[in-house]
Chain A
Amino acid sequence: MRKPIIIDCDPGIDDSIALLMAFASDKLDIRGITPVAGNVGLDKTSINAMKIMEAAGFDCDVSLGASKPLFKDTKDASFVHGQSGLRDIILPEPQKKPTGKAAWDAIYEEAVKCNGELVIVALGPLTNIALTILKYPKIKGLIKEIISMGGSCGLGNDSPAAEFNIYADPDAAQIVFQSGIPLTMVGLDVTHQAVILLDEINEMVSQGKKIDLVEKLFNMTANFCKQFGFKGAVLHDPFAMAYVIDPLVMTTKKFAVEVETKGKITRGKTVVDIYNVTNKEPNIDVGMEVDRERFVALVKELMKKYEV
C-alpha cells in the first residue's frame, strides 16, 4: 500500500528535487502539497510548487499555508535559492490554481480521511504544522508521523547555532516538537552526509536524456555547495523525502529535544539531550547515520522517471 503523505514545503531548489522524487515514487500517495513561506515568500513558494508539478507532469491539490512565521518575522534564504526561489530556472507559469482551502484545513481533512495513517513530510519552517495543531488539537492521534527536515545536534547553518528551517520559525517548531505526534528530525547531522558527488550527478543526467530541470537543479545545488568545501550537492530536503520512501537510508536514535525560542544567540537551536542529563522522556527520533550509497541509488532510480 502506498504511504499517504502531505508535503509541506517552501520550494526552493532542494525542495524541488524532493518534489520530483516524491512524484516519481510508487511508494507514496501524495494527498496534497501545502506551501509555506520560508526559503522565499509564500507567493513564490506556492507558484514554484505548481510549476515543478506541471513540469513533472504530476497533479495533486495545493493548499496555501502561512505567509509569515507565528510570532517574529525572519529573513528568507534568497541568498541560497535566488529571489524567485528557483534561481535562474525559468518555467512556464502554472495553469493550476490552489484549492482555496487553507493548508491547516487541508491537512486536517486528509488526516481524518486517512484514519491515522497520514504522514507529514515537512521540508520548510513548521508554521503550517503548528497552526494545524493549534486549530485542531484532536489531530494529534490522527497523524502517523511527521518527518521534518530541520535542526541539528551540532552546528547550525543559518546562524552558528541554528539550522535555517527551525531558525525561520522556532516557536512553531517548539509547538510541533512538543506536540506528542511522533516526529523524526532529519537535521544537518545527516543531511550534510547526504551528498551526491559531481561524477554521480554527471552519470545520472547523461544516462538517458532527462528533462532539463533535473540537470539544472542538481548542478545548481552542487555549484552552491562548492563554496563551503563540499564535493557535490548537499541534498537536505531530498534526503528527508528519501527517508519517507525508504527508511533504510538513515538510522535514528530517540532523544529528548527542545527548541530554544528565547536565546540571544541560540534562538532556533534544537537542543538534543544526547546524555539524557535532563531525565526527560525522549520524544524525537533524531537522524544519526546515512547510507549514502543507498540514498544516491534511490535518487538515480527515481530520476529515471524524467527521461524524455
Chain B
Amino acid sequence: MRIPIIMDCDPGHDDAIALLMAFASDKLDVRGVTVVGGNQTLEKNTLNTLKVLSFAGIKTRVAPGASKPLMRKLIVAPEVHGESGLDGPILPEPTYGVCGLSAVELMVDIIKNSKEKITLVPTGPLTNIAMLFMTHPEVKDKIERISLMGGSAVGGNWTPAAEFNILVDPEAADIVFNSGIPITMCGLDVTHKAQIYSEDIERIRAMGGKVAVMVAELMDFFALFHWRFGFKGSPLHDPCAVAWLIDSSLITTEHCRVDIETEGEFTTGATVADLRPMKRFNCNADVALDIDRERFIDLLCELLQKYD
C-alpha cells in the first residue's frame, strides 16, 4: 500500500526535487501540498510550487499557509535560492492556481477524509505543522509520523549551531518535537552526505526529458552556493526526508531525545540531540546520520525518468 502523505514545503531548489520524487514514487500517495514562508516569501514559494508541479504535469491541491514564523520575523535565503526562490531555469507560468483552502484547512480536510493515518513531510520551517497541532489537536491521532528535513545533531548551516529551517521558526519546531508524534529528523548530519556531484547532474541532464533538464539546471544554480563552503557537490537536503519514506534502508538513524533551543544567544534553533552513549529517556525522534549516497542518487534518477 502506498503511504499517504502531505508535502509541506518552501520551494526552493531541493524542495522542488523532493516534490518531484514524492509524486513519481509508487511507494507514496501525495494527497496535497502546503506551502510555508522560508527559503523565500510565501508568495514566491507558492508560485514556485505551482510552476514546478504544472511543468511536470502534476495536478494536486496546493494551499499556502503561514507567511511568517509564529513569534519571529521571517528569514529568507536568497543567497542559496536566488531572488525568485528558484533561480536557474526559466519556468512557464503555472497552469492552475491554489485550491482556496489555507494550509491548515487543507491538511485537516485531507487527514479527516482519509481512512489511513497520514504522514507529514515538512521540508521548510515548521510553522504550518505547529499551527495545525495548536488549532486542531484532534488530528494528531490520525498522523502516522513526521519525516522532516531540518536541524542537525552537530553544527549548523545558517548559524554555527542552527540549521536554516529550524532557525527560521524555533518555537514551531519546539511544538512539533513535543507533539508526541514520531519524527524522522533528516538534518545536516545526513543531508551533507547526500550530495549531488557534477557528474550526477550531467547524468540527469543526459536523460534528456524536460523535467530532468530542469532538475539539472536547478542543480547548476544550487552548486554555486555550496562550492563556497568547500563542498564537492550540493547537499540534497529536502529529498532525504522523502527518500527515507520511499526506502528507509538508504538511511541510518538513531533513536534519541531531541529538544529545540529557543532562548540561546548563539544557539537559538539548535536541535539538541542526546546521542551520548548512555541509557536514553523520552526519545521522540529518529535522527538520520548516514546515507548510501550512490543508491540515493540512483533512486533520484529512477524517479525522474518516470516524467518522460
- Listed in ascending order, the chain A residues whose CB lies under 8 Å from chain B are 153-157, 160-161, 227-229, 256, 258, 260-266, 269, 271-275, 277-278
| A260 close to B278 (CB less than 8 A) | no
Bound together, the chains give a CA A260 to CA B266 distance in angstroms of 6
Answer whether A228 and B278 are a contact pair too, CB < 8 Å, given A160-B272, A160-B273.
Answer: yes
| A262 close to B265 (CB less than 8 A) | yes
| A164 CB, nearest partner CB in chain B, Å | 12
Bound together, the chains give a CA A256 to CA B160 distance in angstroms of 9
| B246 CB, nearest partner CB in chain A, Å | 29
| A231 CB, nearest partner CB in chain B, Å | 13
Answer whether A157 and B276 are a contact pair too, CB < 8 Å, given A274-B155, A277-B158.
Answer: yes
Answer whether A260 and B267 are a contact pair too, CB < 8 Å, given A161-B272, A228-B278.
Answer: yes
| A262 close to B263 (CB less than 8 A) | yes
Within 8 A of A (CB), among B154-197: 154-161
Answer whether A155 and B154 are a contact pair too, CB < 8 Å, given A229-B277, A263-B261, A277-B160.
Answer: yes
Contact of B262 with A by CB under 8 A = yes
Interface string of B132-148 (1 = CB under 8 A from A): 00000000000000000
| B156 close to A263 (CB less than 8 A) | no
| A266 close to B155 (CB less than 8 A) | no
| B159 close to A264 (CB less than 8 A) | no
Bound together, the chains give a CA A266 to CA B272 distance in angstroms of 8
Answer whether A262 and B154 are a contact pair too, CB < 8 Å, given A161-B270, A228-B277.
Answer: no
Answer whether A264 and B261 are a contact pair too, CB < 8 Å, given A153-B154, A269-B267, A271-B160.
Answer: yes
Bound together, the chains give a CA A265 to CA B278 distance in angstroms of 18
| Given A260-B161, A275-B157, 17 other A-B residues pairs in contact with their CB atoms under 8 A | A153-B154, A154-B153, A155-B154, A155-B275, A155-B276, A160-B257, A160-B272, A161-B261, A161-B267, A260-B264, A263-B261, A263-B268, A264-B261, A269-B161, A272-B155, A274-B160, A275-B155
**Chain A residues in 8 Å Cβ range of B161:** 260, 266, 269, 271
Number of B interface residues, CB 8 Å? 28
**Chain B residues in 8 Å Cβ range of A274:** 155, 160
| B159 close to A277 (CB less than 8 A) | yes
Contact of B200 with A by CB under 8 A = no
- Listed in ascending order, the chain B residues whose CB lies under 8 Å from chain A are 153-161, 229, 257, 259, 261-268, 270, 272-278
Closest B residue by C-beta to A162: B272
Answer whether A261 and B265 are a contact pair too, CB < 8 Å, given A155-B154, A277-B160.
Answer: yes
Closest B residue by C-beta to A189: B154
**Chain A residues in 8 Å Cβ range of B261:** 161, 263-266
| B298 CB, nearest partner CB in chain A, Å | 29
**Chain B residues in 8 Å Cβ range of A271:** 159-161, 266-267
Bound together, the chains give a CA A228 to CA B159 distance in angstroms of 31
| B276 close to A156 (CB less than 8 A) | yes
| A160 close to B267 (CB less than 8 A) | no
**Chain B residues in 8 Å Cβ range of A228:** 277-278
**Chain A residues in 8 Å Cβ range of B229:** 275
| A127 CB, nearest partner CB in chain B, Å | 20
**Chain A residues in 8 Å Cβ range of B262:** 264
Could you pull out 29 A-B pairs where Cβ atoms are within 8 angstroms? A154-B154, A155-B275, A156-B276, A157-B276, A160-B257, A160-B259, A161-B267, A229-B277, A260-B161, A260-B266, A260-B267, A261-B265, A262-B265, A263-B261, A263-B263, A263-B265, A263-B270, A264-B261, A269-B161, A269-B270, A271-B159, A271-B161, A271-B267, A272-B155, A273-B160, A274-B155, A275-B229, A277-B158, A277-B160
